[in-house]
Structure 1
């Protein structure tokens, strides 16, 4: 009997850590449809269907084998104001930067939105 792999709910983005500096990076569409890594979460490629999620997973596997990234995984997101926002605190926190220095990291610029206040 084949084991089934449970995938996060869609839509999702691919998040990883750069192997050299540890910064959080996101899979995005590059030239001619090739996938690339970006530190800017805004252009993160959002997988809305199984085929897109499988493409992101294949990219992650190749990048892991090539020792370019570590800890690559799909993160389920909601789309808010046209941008992907991780649904879980851990991933939302990783997309922003250090909590003790709001003037540093992605939260200092145009990064993924933080959790709504209220």
Structure 2
């Protein structure tokens, strides 16, 4: 199963995902996907390093699927984190991104 690395940025608590360039992104859309065990292991090491450098907290590898080039978390909790709060979707961060949908 495909996995991406997610965490919360330490400075402001925003949910972030590790991108291919090694930066933490506020959108899951460009997250680096681990498609085999070696890639998943590398993601896990990158998460440990970022945690140890006090960049992020609550680091976790999550299961995702790709549909037509879009990334969708499998678990509901992660779909909510990707889309933003479930109330007042017209305000805040969640209004800037397309909502994550159930696959």
TM-score by structure 1 length? 0.80
Rate the CA distance shift 1:111–1:17 in 2: closer, same or farther, 3 A. Answer: farther
TM-score by structure 2 length? 0.91
The aligned counterpart of 1:24 is 15
Count of aligned pairs between the two proteins: 102
Task: Tell me which stretches of 4 or more aligned residues in structure 1 moved more than 3 Å.
Answer: 109-112
Give the unaligned 5+ runs of structure 1. Answer: 1-9
CA RMSD in angstroms, aligned pairs only: 1.4
Contact kept, 8 Å, 2:9 with 2:16, in 1: the verdict is: yes
Q: Which has the larger radius of gyration?
A: 1
Contact kept, 8 Å, 1:95 with 1:111, in 2: the verdict is: no
The aligned counterpart of 1:105 is 93
Give the unaligned 5+ runs of structure 2. Answer: none
Shift of 1:62: 0.4
